[in-house]
Chain A
Amino acid sequence: MNNIVFGQYYPSNSPVHRLDPRVKLLIVIAYIVTVFFVADYAMYGALFLFVLGVALVAKVPIRVLLRTVRTIVILVLITATINLFFTKGEELLVSWKFIKIYKEGVERAIKLALRLILLMLFPSLLTLTTTPMELTDAIESLLSPLKLIKVPVHAIALIMSIALRMIPILMEETNKIILAQKARGADFDTGGALKKAKAMIPVLVPLFVGAFRRADELALAMDARCYSSVAKRTKYKVMRLALRDLAASLVCIAVFTLVFLNKYLWPFDEMILALFR
């Protein structure tokens, strides 16, 4: 169960961990938009360095960060392959029977692969340095203007935080049930796909029964404490912007601006090639 890294918090006390989660969330959103505007190889390289730099400051081992990419390796390979073979361009590199590879196809495949990996890495850093609870708080805070048009922001945030809270509990429960059924001689590892799926029934049924039982108990417990979704409540942890949030924002804005400058004004790749000419 320890191999699900995406969404797994990596505890540490780095400046990145201490950033206001709202700021981190906004930066990641801006980053995702920005990645689609990266034009040159040099800029891709620069962004990779930027992400690695942030990981370094966050004290997240590069090994842990790179593990998140494993989950999308197949997606990256498929996308890159499709683009390699099906992009039509002007400069033909390989032509063998019906297969035609153009220079533009190679370039597009490489850049798409890089883009996908970049898209995975930086948001993973967010979840590695921010607890799910902080993230929920941040989303609630950022969505709060929607309260004006009667969107039940608080209820949504509560549902999210309960769901997040239940994930580790249900995982632990799954582990326990798997152990119990293993002790009764269950075999989850051998046989074909159908046999393996069937072997999961003795795990899934108690898991569902347990989930409903827990939901019931939680609802009762909340009721017993007079929970009401309309009541005004204060926060245990109040989020406050600090100087470091401003600093982090400025650094990121600078990097993101560079991306747009590169796309529309400064073609880095050509400039670098010109140096060597």
Chain B
Amino acid sequence: MSIEVKDLTYTYSPKTPYASTALKGVSLHINEGEYVGIIGKTGSGKSTFIQHLNALIRLQSGEIKVYDIDLNAKKPDLKRLRGTVGMVMQYPEYQLFDETVEKDVSYGPKNLGLSEEEIKERVREAITLVGLDYEEMRDRSPFELSGGQKRRVAIAGVIAMRPKVLVLDEPIAGLDPKGKQEILSLIKRLKNSFSPTVIVVSHDMDSVAENCDKIALFSDGEIARFASPREIFYDDELLARTELDCPSVIKVAKELMKLGCPLPTRPVRKEELIAALTQGGRHE
């Protein structure tokens, strides 16, 4: 068990005219090695939820445990928590600040209090992992890079802390299709290296269906369903109730079935659809 959340409730600006409840009794178990997608409309509580995982928001009521770190403890070990849960915020490229790429990426490890050598080693590793050339990049200013490169540097800054859980808030927002693919395969690479658990908040249903093992569907501050993409996207009643859009693969599959083309499986990923179409389900 890497993350356990029980009955989490959170209200913004409580006891003022601006008070608004963002989370209402959310419970969730995430196992090590899972790739979890978090979806839901704007304002459904997704961001509030993931910010709790890193103690960026102080607990109001409920329980959170990340590995052996208990956030309900009087003084949780925040440094260790933030080294364990790596958080890549929305548009992370807007948080770059230092003169050189190397210095910027080393900010996180430095805050963890690691040794010079260790920091250097991790920075080199992180920059290489995100697909950039360390020797070429290290002395450049992060402000002169291209948008996609900036975002990678920002992600490198988080993974240089070697988090066991990687949380990403809309990692592919505002990128072109090629940039999206690059970031998505980068996330997979990271999952296979040292962040076995990945949690992604996304509005992009295609990428969620393609990559995630499980999806937590947020609606109005509650989790409407926590299940596999297959269970969620083939539940028409649930989709209608939460005004959720279907991934294009599943749209195609549903259209085909409606037109009378029997598919042997309920495909979610592109390859599954192709396999279903080429192997079984031939029209009589």
Contact = CB atoms under 8 A, between A and B. Distances in A.
Given A183-B158, A184-B111, A205-B97, A11 B17 contact: yes
Interface string A197-240: 00001110110011000000000000000000000000000000
Contacts, number: 60
A262 to B, nearest CB: 37
B161 interface: yes
Contacts of A187: 111
B79 interface: yes
Nearest to A187: B111
A184 B17 contact: no
B111 A206 contact: no
B17 A180 contact: no
Interface residues of B, number: 27
Contacts of B82: 182-185
Interface residues on A, range: 20 to 34
Contact of A185 (B95, B97, B98, B112): B112
B108 A202 contact: no
Given A180-B87, A185-B82, A202-B107, A2 B13 contact: yes
Nearest to A176: B89
Given A177-B95, A180-B95, A206-B95, A185 B13 contact: no
B79 A185 contact: yes
A186 interface: yes
B143 interface: yes
A181 interface: yes
Given A184-B108, A184-B111, A185-B82, A206 B96 contact: yes
B48 to A, nearest CB: 11
A209 B99 CA distance: 13
A179 B89 contact: yes
A102 interface: no
Interface in A1-44: 2, 10-12
B54 interface: yes
Given A2-B13, A10-B17, A183 B87 contact: yes
A203 B224 CA distance: 36
Given A182-B56, A183-B82, A184-B82, A206 B97 contact: yes
B253 to A, nearest CB: 38
Contact of A177 (B94, B111, B161): B94
Contacts of A181: 95, 107
Contacts of A203: 97
For A11, A12, A176, A183, the residue with the greatest tally of chain B CB atoms inside 10 Å of its CB is A183
Interface string B184-227: 00000000000000000000000000000000000000000000
B92 to A, nearest CB: 7
Contacts of A202: 95, 97-98, 107
Contact of B83 (A185, A201, A206): A185
A186 B111 contact: yes
A68 to B, nearest CB: 15
Contacts of A180: 87, 89, 92, 95
Interface in B99-113: 107-108, 111-112
A177 B157 CA distance: 14
A255 B16 CA distance: 32
A201 B111 CA distance: 14
Contacts of B83: 185
Given A185-B82, A201-B97, 14 more contacts: A10-B17, A181-B95, A183-B86, A183-B158, A184-B107, A184-B111, A184-B157, A185-B79, A185-B111, A186-B107, A186-B111, A202-B107, A206-B95, A209-B94
15 contacts: A176-B90, A179-B51, A183-B86, A183-B89, A184-B157, A184-B161, A185-B83, A185-B108, A185-B112, A186-B107, A202-B97, A202-B107, A205-B97, A206-B95, A209-B94
Interface of B: 13, 16-17, 51, 54, 56, 79, 82-83, 86-87, 89-90, 92, 94-98, 107-108, 111-112, 143, 157-158, 161
